[in-house]
Amino acid sequence: MRKLRYILVDVFTDRAFGGNPLAVFPDGQGITNAEMQALAKELNLSETTFVLPAEQAEHDYKLRIFTPALELPMAGHPTLGTGFVLAHEGMTKLAEGETRITLEEKVGPIPVSFQARSGLVESIEMQQPLPSFGERFERREVITEMLSLSLTDLDETLPLEIVSCGVPFLFVPLKSLEAVKRVSFKRDIHDRELSESEAMGVFVFARGGETEGATVHSRMFGPKFGIAEDPATGAASGPLGAYLTRHNVVDTRHEEVEIISEQGFEMGRPSFVRIRIAHQGQEITRVRVGGQCYYMGEGTFTLE
């Protein structure tokens, strides 16, 4: 019999029952591909991760990320949450101030940095691949039908556009916080109209938020991931920041833009994602996404 230990953390929050929950198996050696997928499906969280030895000597660990339906090439809250667990378990030694590690993911090496005080992680941040801007979706009436909205709810000054920093999302700008909260996602229309699209999720947002300091209020729907709605989506937050910067939704007078995306409020899991976009004019030169994590507990699976 094998005992497989996992740790549960909430990511993009500083308190219990907020943010996005994540299960991390700190020792993924000996777990088969099929078992990883089955364990992720059994836990039924938006993502589950498995830590393995790095394949390159200059890196720290290899990371595999699974939703209940499939393996991902990269994801935000699993990367940050796993980094937090590595520090919590003593698998990464923290220096006072900043500590940096590199995790191997399917998109390539992902730098992760910690801010720590007295041996405790205060915040954690990852660098994402530079963005690619994909196709624009012109059939706006299809999107509004899928979201149970009207055409007047869309922000007509901005495009419906696919952006990726490793995982592509369709970004849908809305005019108001009220419209974002009113969204009711219709899976059947998504499957009919977007099943062939490269976009893995549909990300809706409006400027402002429920909390002071929020830049945008966001929601993400991910049926292709096997997720109805996600309380915090790090992989979409880098592309979100790139979209907001490219289209001058935020103040771009400085060489680095800082954005706070609040998400998960409609699910009762408030999440706060900090996005930093460095740019030179229209060229984006660095994408970083970060936040806080909260340790929730641990458990084991027993497998023959």
- Catalytic residue numbers? 47
Query: Residue 134 phi/psi, 5° resolution?
Result: -100, -150
CA-to-CA dists, residue 279 to 152, 213, 233, 248, angstroms: 32, 22, 22, 12
CA-to-CA dists, residue 252 to 225, 259, 261, 275, angstroms: 33, 11, 17, 14
Contact 207, 216 (CB under 8 A): yes
The C-alpha R_g of the chain, in whole angstroms, comes to: 19
Contact 122, 97 (CB under 8 A): no
Burial class (CB in 10 A: 0-12, 13-18, 19+), 182: middle
Q: How far apart are CA 297 and CA 304, in angstroms?
A: 24
Contact 105, 71 (CB under 8 A): no
Question: Residue 180: which of 156, 157, 148, 158 has the closest Cα?
Answer: 148
Q: Which helix (H) or strand (E) holds 282?
A: none
Amino acid letter, 115 = Q
DSSP-derived letter for residue 87 is H
